[in-house]
Chain A
Amino acid sequence: MSTEYSKPLPELNDFNRPFWEACRNNRLELQKCSDCSHIRYPVSHVCPECLSEAHEWVKVSGRGTVWSSIVFHQVYNKAFAADVPYNVAMIQLDEGPRMISNVVGVPPSQVKVGDVVEVIFDAVTPEVSIPRFRPVR
């Protein structure tokens, strides 16, 4: 039995479509500035270091460490009612950027700052696979 996915989904546009298309293909790709080589996230049309718009999408390792970890108990969006308590973490990617995501596969309160993690892709709809992270054993 399929149920409709009712949680927030990315609103695809010309800027973020390459990111989400890569995720759908199980690859984490970020923008690398063609002028100053800065790798940026979140997705932006312009490099926040040098303001160049020239960039290429590069595959990153998907490895990182937990920068900060919190556990949601309160339901702010009813689509998450069955998920609480669930983890949200800020992930420090090995290539530099930080991203908000979830650490999954372990009880949410057991996620610790400094844990080494790697990306996985959660295909929540046919179009969207959400990058999340799991501990590296």
Chain B
Amino acid sequence: MPGLRDKFAIAGVGATAQGTLPGSTPITLAVEAFKRALDDSGLRKQDIDGLLTMPGTTSPEGSLNYLRLGEALGIDPRYTGSMTLGGGTAGALIQNAVAAINAGMATTVACVFGDTAKTGGSRFSRASGWGDSWGIWGMFAAAANSAIAASRHMALYGTQSRHLAEVAVACRYHASLNPDAVMRKPITIEDHQNSRWVVEPFHLLDCCLISDGGVCVIVTSAERAKDLRQPLVTISGMGQAYTTRNNEREDWWYVPHQKNALDAAYKMAGVGPADIKVAQLYDNFTMSVLLWLEHAGFCGVGEAGGFVEGGRIQLGGALPVNTAGGNLSESYMEGWLHVVEGVRQMRGACGPRQVADAEVCLVTGRGMTLNCSNAMILKKG
């Protein structure tokens, strides 16, 4: 896809308040995010001719979310649909928007998510397993799947809980600089070590938040975005990859598809890990960041524990990661806010958490246990 490099842009981003929002519904939050993204971009509602949505985990209409939201927004898109790839959805919808615009099916696509997982009853404690539920063996909740990955990574490569703590501490430090973040009180590695076990090897502070909120990202051509309200941020590279074979694949735990998604994004953008000075890496659990660092080539296989030591992924370190706080400390918007932060970093709009001189930002998404992944290279226009 090198022909698509920098041809498309994220022209607007909008996020609602985050955290505990009683009285909200997934639709009220999605609508609010949409309005904020319109305002951010300078576009009008009637300019939006594509609508891609991710149903909230608490959205009663499920995969018909696009119909429900389209009605609420009062629009008749030329192109629409909903996808449910968990934390892999935001990036996938944005990339699908690029493909649709490139194919002439739409000109300006709003990608939208709203959820009330905090106040509306989260479903993240369910057991996996299509046939016989893994709940038969007491394996419940999203944390368990990433804990399986962490346990094996630790056994094979000597990765330690203190390495996971580095991720939690970095995200919290960044959140402390973000007035919109939910968890802003800085933590130490010892705080992490002293937090209660959830699913060993994960402590409480290895786990993301559960949040209410909404996010909208508007995709259009770079040509059009140049004339809009914000500094140009292009989609320079993008890629998706999936492992749906689950346990039939012996390295499933290592999420091997993530490397394929990253390689596709690097190739399209014509960049490599040495060009990346800031990254927003999907962090449902701390372990996920270590796996992204290895797959993205910032370090070798099994080396991410050592890579993150000494605050190297904090602002001021070699590679600031999740500069708004991530799923761990900003808010759990299933990766949507990673895109927003990537865009804001490329606009130079991040104030005290701005990474100086960063020309490109890597943004990754990962979802549905260990199955779905995508990567994007955002570029300052």
Interface of A toward B, CB cutoff 8 Å: 7-11, 15-16, 19, 40-44, 48, 67-74, 76-77, 80, 83, 85-86, 88, 90, 92, 97-102, 108-109, 112-114, 130, 132
Residue contact B149 to A88, C-beta cutoff 8 Å:
no
Chain A nearest CB from B42 CB (Å) reads 46
Instruction: From the candidates A71, A97, A130, name the one contacting B199 in the complex (CB within 8 A).
Output: A71
The answer on a CB contact under 8 Å between A77 and B138 is yes
B186 proximal to A (CB < 8 A): no
27 A-B pairs with CB atoms under 8 Å apart are A8-B136, A10-B133, A42-B129, A42-B130, A42-B247, A43-B131, A43-B132, A48-B245, A67-B253, A68-B152, A71-B197, A72-B140, A73-B197, A73-B198, A74-B198, A76-B141, A77-B135, A88-B144, A90-B148, A90-B253, A97-B248, A98-B250, A100-B139, A109-B200, A113-B156, A130-B136, A130-B137
Question: Are A68 and B144 closer than 8 Å at their CB atoms?
Answer: no
Interface residues of B in 19-61 (CB under 8 A from A): none
Q: Does B147 contact A (CB under 8 A)?
A: yes
Contacts of A97 in B (CB 8 A): 247-248
Q: Is A48 in contact with B155, judged by CB distance below 8 angstroms? A: no
In the complex, the chain A residue whose C-beta lies closest to that of B203 is: A73
Whole-angstrom distance between the alpha carbons of A97 and B246 in the complex? 11
Shortest CB–CB separation between residue B256 and chain A, in angstroms?
15
State the Cβ distance, A59 to closest chain B Cβ, in Å.
19
Interface residues of chain B, those whose CB is within 8 Å of chain A, are 125, 127, 129-141, 143-144, 147-149, 151-152, 155-156, 196-201, 245, 247-248, 250, 253
Would A70 and B247 be within 8 Å (CB), given that A8-B133, A88-B137, A114-B155 are in contact?
A: no
Taking a contact as CB atoms under 8 Å apart, the answer to whether B200 and A71 are in contact is yes
The answer to whether residues A72 and B129 also contact, given A77-B140, A99-B247 and a CB cut-off of 8 A, is no
Q: Cα distance A24–B141 when bound, in Å?
A: 28
Nearest chain B CB to A121's CB is how many angstroms away?
13
CA distance A38 to B278 in the complex (A): 44
Instruction: List B contacts of A72 (CB < 8 A).
Output: 138-140, 144, 199-200
Q: Contacts A16-B131, A88-B139: A68 and B199 contacting too (C-beta < 8 A)?
A: no
Residue of A nearest to B136 (CB): A8
Contact A70 B151 (CB under 8 A): yes
Bound-state Cα–Cα, A41 to B248, Å: 7
Chain A contacts for B140, CB-based, 8 A: 72, 76-77
- Contact between B199 and A73, CB atoms less than 8 A apart: yes
Alpha-carbon gap, A108 to B139, bound state (A): 14
**Chain A residues in 8 Å Cβ range of B130:** 42
Contact B138 A88 (CB under 8 A): yes
In this complex, which of A16, A90, A109, A130 has the most chain B Cβ atoms within 10 angstroms of its Cβ? A90
| Neighbouring A residues of B152 by C-beta, 8 Å | 67-68, 90, 113
In the complex, chain B residues whose CB is within 8 Å of the CB of A68:
148-149, 151-152, 155, 253
A90 to chain B: closest residue by CB: B148
The residue on A at minimum CB distance from B207 is A74
For A41, the chain B residues whose CB sits under 8 A away are 247
The smallest beta-carbon distance between B19 and chain A, in angstroms, is 22
Q: How far is the CA of A121 from the CA of B134 in the complex (A)?
A: 16
Cβ of A31 to closest chain B Cβ, rounded Å? 11
Partner of A90, one of B129, B131, B138, B247: B247
Complex interface: chain B residues within 8 A of A77 (CB) = 125, 135, 138, 140
Looking at the assembled complex, report how far the CB atom of B302 sits from the nearest CB atom of chain A, in whole angstroms: 14
Evaluate contact between A80 and B138: CB separation under 8 angstroms. Answer: yes
Residue of A nearest to B125 (CB): A76
B197 and A7: CB pair below 8 A?
A: no
> How far is it, in angstroms, between the C-alpha of A67 and the C-alpha of B153 when the chains are bound?
10
Nearest B-chain residue to A43, judged by Cβ: B131
Closest residue of B by beta carbon distance from A75: B140
Taking CB atoms, residues of chain B closer than 8 Å to A8 are 127, 133, 135-136
The 3 closest A-B pairs by CB, nearest first: A113-B155, A76-B140, A71-B200
Known contacts A8-B133, A70-B144, A100-B134: does B155 contact A112 (CB below 8 Å)? yes
Chain A residue at smallest Cβ distance from B140: A76
Whose C-beta in chain A lies nearest to the C-beta of B153? A68
B248 close to A40 (CB less than 8 A): yes
| A137→B208 CA distance, assembly (Å) | 39
